[in-house]
Amino acid sequence: MKYTLVALMENKPGVLSRVAGLFRRRNYNIESLSVGHSETPNISRMTIVLHGDDRVVQQVVKQLAKLINVTEVLDVSSQPAVFRELALIKVKAGPGVRSEIIELANIFRARVVDVGAASLTVEITGPETRVNSLIGLLNPYGIDELARTGRVAMVREMNDNSGQAAYL
């Protein structure tokens, strides 16, 4: 099964290699890992997507929490949460197919962020499933380059609208 963890960590040199080293050493199967600043100065926030069973994931949570620079670890897999990923897709786009691709991008609420003579670069943000679908549809045109950020996650504030917001 796929799990999503959120870890907060002190923004100190080497902290990334500590986390990455832990995953490698303990043989955890990581799908994606994305890191950036959090709302607190000097605290970074990492979202980790991994495969495993419940026992493995509990181990990962506890081993991560043991790292001295890691201040908090949450398993958000079974919580109502917003999951998002951003992808930049550079797709071959000769004059004949350009408008088709732009149309596809529009349907996915993706944006064209660069136009070249032979390619278009599309930016999409959304749940991975949506990103995957767009990539699947663009594949036949020929994808020159693909950059994905990996999942970031945030637990929803529990209120009456949260159920609806999930589909936004």
**Which residues are at the interface with another protein (CB under 8 A)?**
9-10, 13-14, 17-18, 21-22, 25, 55, 58-59, 62-63, 65-71
- What minimum distance in Å lies between the beta carbon of 156 and another protein? 26
In the complex with another protein, the residue whose CB is nearer, 62 or 109, is: 62
- What minimum distance in Å lies between the beta carbon of 68 and another protein? 4
State the Cα–Cα distance between residues 95 and 79, nearest whole angstrom.
46
In the complex with another protein, the residue whose CB is nearer, 18 or 98, is: 18
State the Cα–Cα distance between residues 6 and 153, nearest whole angstrom.
7
In the complex with another protein, the residue whose CB is nearer, 53 or 160, is: 53
Contacts 24+ apart (CB under 8 A), 158-166: 158/80, 162/80, 165/82, 166/80, 166/82
For residue 22, which of 76, 59, 75 has the smallest C-alpha distance?
Answer: 59
Burial of 119 by CB count in 10 Å (0-12 exposed, 13-18 middle, 19+ buried)?
buried
- What minimum distance in Å lies between the beta carbon of 72 and another protein? 8
- What minimum distance in Å lies between the beta carbon of 17 and another protein? 7
In the complex with another protein, the residue whose CB is nearer, 9 or 33, is: 9
